[in-house]
Structure formats: C-alpha cells, structure tokens
C-alpha cells in the first residue's frame, strides 16, 4: 500500500508502491464518500475537506467510503503558511486514494494537487491498483508530519509516516481481501517536496517513500 517513490523513474516508483500489492494482489476501489481534510489529531473519512487557510481558490472535493478510513494525526501548525502546506499535502494524499477507490487514474483532483512533472507518476501508482481491479479498504493512519517552508515562500518540504497494519486491498470482482505479506514492516516514511502554484496551491513536486523508515 506504500504510495510511491517519485525521485527516480516511474518504474522504480511502481516497484516501491507495489510492496503491499504483492501481498494483496494490488490495491484499488471504486466507491467514494470522503477522502480529504485538514484537521487536528484525527480526521473522519466521511467529513468534507477543509480549504487551505487564507486561500480563495476553489479546491476539488474528494470523498471516501467508510470502508477506507484515512486519518491524519496532528496535522496542525501554529504557522499559517505551514498549515496551508499541510492542508494541501493532505488533500493530495486523499485525492490519490480517492482516485483508486473511484477507479479513476485520470482524477482531476490528483492533477490539481500535483505538478505536471509528478502527475504521470501518480497516475502509474493509481494504475497499479486499478489495472488489477483492486480497491483499498481498512484503516491507514498518516502521522508525524514535519514541514519546512523555503525562505522565498515558493517551496516547501514535508515528511510524514503511514501505518499499513490495518490496510488491505480487495478484489472488486471476487471480494478477496489481502494485506501485507507476513514479516513486512507496516510503517512507511515519505519525503515530499512541494511548490506553490501561481494560484497559491501547494502542489507535490516530488515524492520518495521508504518502507521501515519510521515507527509509531
């Protein structure tokens, strides 16, 4: 269920993202309820997303089903710029899983939160699920965010962790559910670089993931 590694090639990215897919046979779902938000220590997957602070840009609304609980722990900052970064980064994560669940590799929400250079690689990650007729279910906590904003205010870096212990994939046709293979470290660390668009949206510019790179 690891999202992706976008620092090198799309192929390398797909391999990293497929660790849980190997165990689960993939990962993809086509229902949608709520899959976004920017809140405190935990966000309900059924609650609509909150727009980034201080922005009048109309952001897409993504939804997740109750069968996939994507929660964000302590994604808050007293600094309004850092909070804006956290809000948009969170929305990008939610948009990606929403696209898997909706069986939509060409998700407009994903395109909204990704720079042009990253969009194609995110699509390939989504397709590692959708091409195998899989969806994601269960629980995926996203925690320990750390954000740094560049002095010029145009770029930022973000790191965070996920816990795949209770996350699984489900075959859309057979209903078969699978989790990570026995012995797989469920914790995955992410390092993200973001760029601020002309419209004021913080977009993912690169993503690198490492299984076992953090713990809870």
Q: Please report the pLDDT score of residue 46 as a whole number.
A: 32
Measured between alpha carbons, how far is 182 from 18 in angstroms, rounded to an integer? 15
Q: Please report the pLDDT score of residue 56 as a whole number.
A: 79
Measured between alpha carbons, how far is 197 from 40 in angstroms, rounded to an integer? 25
Domains defined for the chain, CATH in brackets: 10-168+178-211 (3.10.450)
Q: Please report the pLDDT score of residue 4 as a whole number.
A: 55
HSE-up (13 A, CA, CB side) for residue 127:
12
* Cβ count near 19 (within 10 Å): 19
Q: Please report the pLDDT score of residue 11 as a whole number.
A: 31
Mean pLDDT per block of 10 residues along the chain (216 residues) reads 46 33 29 29 36 67 95 97 98 97 97 96 96 97 98 97 97 96 95 96 96 88
Q: Is 79 exposed, middle or buried (0-12, 13-18, 19+ CB in 10 A)?
A: exposed
Q: Please report the pLDDT score of residue 9 as a whole number.
A: 30
Q: What is the DSSP letter of 205?
A: E
Q: Please report the pLDDT score of residue 25 as a whole number.
A: 28
């Amino acid at each position: 269920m690891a999202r992706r590694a976008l620092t090198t090639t799309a192929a390398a990215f797909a391999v990293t993202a497929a660790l849980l897919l190997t165990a689960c046979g993939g990962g993809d779902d086509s229902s949608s309820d709520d899959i976004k938000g920017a809140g405190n220590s935990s966000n309900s997957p059924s609650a609509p997303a909150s727009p980034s602070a201080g922005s009048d840009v109309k952001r897409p609304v993504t939804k997740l089903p109750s069968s996939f609980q994507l929660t964000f722990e302590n994604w808050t900052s007293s600094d309004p710029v850092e909070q804006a970064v956290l809000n948009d980064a969170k929305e990008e994560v939610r948009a990606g899983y929403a696209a898997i669940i909706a069986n939509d590799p060409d998700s407009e929400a994903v395109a909204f939160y990704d720079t042009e250079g990253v969009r194609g690689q995110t699509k390939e990650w989504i397709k590692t699920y959708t091409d195998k007729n899989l969806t994601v279910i269960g629980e995926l906590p996203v925690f320990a965010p750390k954000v740094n904003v560049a002095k010029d205010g145009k770029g930022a870096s973000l790191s965070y962790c996920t816990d795949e212990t209770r996350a699984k994939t489900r075959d859309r046709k057979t209903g078969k559910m699978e989790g990570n293979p026995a012995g797989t470290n469920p914790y995955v660390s992410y390092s993200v670089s973001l760029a601020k668009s002309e419209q004021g949206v913080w977009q993912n510019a690169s993503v690198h993931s490492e299984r076992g790179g953090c713990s809870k």
